[in-house]
Structure formats: C-alpha cells, structure tokens
Amino acid sequence: MEAIFESMKQRREANEFTFGMMLCMYKKNGRFEEATHIAKQMREMKIRTDPLSYNTFSFYTL
C-alpha cells in the first residue's frame, strides 16, 4: 500500500482521501512517526480533510 501511495504522490494523483487513508492506517498500527510525517505533509500542502480525523492526530504535529 505504501508503494502505491508514493507512486500516486509522484504522479500528483494523491488526494485528500489517499492522504487521510495513510494517516489513519499508520496511526491505527502505532506507526506514529510515519503518521506525523503524513499529517505535516497534509498541513504543508493545505490538504483539507475531515476535521475529526485530522484533529485527532494534530497534537502530534505541534
């Protein structure tokens, strides 16, 4: 799944859903460093997502 996501990012096909999916997957599996990286990318790229899913993780990105 990670390879697909990276490929989509390179082709600029990744969107709010794919970023959110990866964020949730990493968080659910305890991979907080990776989830933090995704959350930071989302913030930098101004990718909007469901406030609940993003805000539940935002405290890791402060």
Domain span at 34: 2-61
Q: How many residues are listed for the chain in this entry?
A: 62
Specify the amino acid at residue 59. Answer: F
Element (H, E) at 5: helix 2-10
The per-residue pLDDT for range 2-57, each reduced to its tens digit, is 999 999 999 999 998 899 899 989 999 999 999 999 989 988 888 876 554 555 55
The conformational region for residue 46 under phi > 0 = left, psi -120 to 50 = alpha, else beta, is left
Number of domains in the chain: 1
